[in-house]
Amino acid sequence: MFSALRSLGRGSSVQRRQVWGLIFVLPTVIFFIIFFLYPIVSGLLFSLTDFTLLRPPVWVGLQNYQDLLKDRLFLKSLSVTMGYVVGTTVPVWVLSLLAALLFYQRFPGREFTKTLFFTPVLPSLIVVAIVWRILMQPNGLLTQLTRPFTGLGEVNWLSRPDLSPISMIIINNWTTIPFYMLIWLAGLTGIPSELRDAALVDGANRVQSFLRVELPLLRPTAVFVAAISSINAFQAFTLQWAISPGRGGPIDVNTTMGLLIWKYGFQFYRMGDAAAVSVVLFAMILVVTVFQLGLSRGEQYSLE
């Protein structure tokens, strides 16, 4: 790179000027080398060591990964994470699209209504956890509102092993649906209304025109919402940490891989194991990312 700089220095003034581009970009690039590239590489290396912060790391090769395959808690966290990913991504995808269609209608007070709908996106997940912990008390608001349908007097939303993961999904849906609604809405707004009008003139009804004309045009948005919501769900941590009994309980039904990284790394100081779980999680997310890029080839990022 430096020899390139020198050769540029000898060039014309227009060429010399281009060096400024490199200078403007350099702080960001250097930052990411120090706080992104270096930790990524060292994380890969840590996963091959037996590191506890207390003594220097010892090289153990793939031992950590082999141990993970026999680790009951890790295997549990795999299934918990997959359940959470499916349980959040699918309903969020459908419901946020339906919400976008609702708020795509024009009616007086639409902006205000949309703002109200959007409020769950704003508070931090810790605030969300504090509020929902109260709403999900056995005799709390959620029990009261669902009583006409369930007939149950008291519901232990958070401490029943069968119900607790579903409660996490409910809370996640509440905070994320308005966000993805916005993404769908931006996609819908980008479709020229002439296309829909043409379909309507040709005798299609509203549902047909949506399914045949608009949905295919929304393909990049559809892929994006599915990919980003699942990638975020793979990383689930804060909600489970803050609200599930005993941080991941009861009986580990809420111990996601994200939570396991924290437990191994920062409760037990088994940094090698934590790094190995991180690498596995990264690999899983990478599959989704590659899948997404394949489905939306060239639409997301262009170099020029």
Residues 85-114 that bind other proteins (CB under 8 A): 99, 102-103, 105-110, 113-114
Q: Which of 12, 23, 69, 194 binds other proteins (CB under 8 A)?
A: 23
DSSP labels, 39-77: HHHHHHHHTTEE--SSS--EE-TTHHHHHHHH-HHHHHH
Q: H or E stretch including 249?
A: none
Q: Which of 62, 94, 122, 198 binds other proteins (CB under 8 A)?
A: 122
CB 277 within 8 A of CB 260: yes
250 binds other proteins (CB under 8 A): no
Q: Which of 186, 198, 211, 215 binds other proteins (CB under 8 A)?
A: 186
Q: Which residue has the tokens 């609604």?
A: 181
Cβ closest to other proteins, residue 22 vs residue 75:
22
190 binds other proteins (CB under 8 A): yes
> Which region among 36-44, 71-79, 83-91, 210-218 touches other proteins (by CB under 8 A)?
36-44
Quick one: residue 37, left, alpha or beta (phi over 0 = left, psi -120 to 50 = alpha)?
alpha
Helix axes 141-150, 125-135, angle to 10 degrees: 50
Q: Which of 1, 54, 69, 201 binds other proteins (CB under 8 A)?
A: 1
215-234 footprint of other proteins as x/- string (CB under 8 A) = ---------x---x--x--x
CB 65 within 8 A of CB 47: yes
Cβ closest to other proteins, residue 63 vs residue 137:
137
> Alpha-carbon torsion 189, 194, 195, 196, what sign?
positive
> Which region among 16-24, 71-79, 159-167, 207-215 touches other proteins (by CB under 8 A)?
16-24
Strand pairing partners for 59? 49
Q: Which of 78, 125, 188, 223 binds other proteins (CB under 8 A)?
A: 125
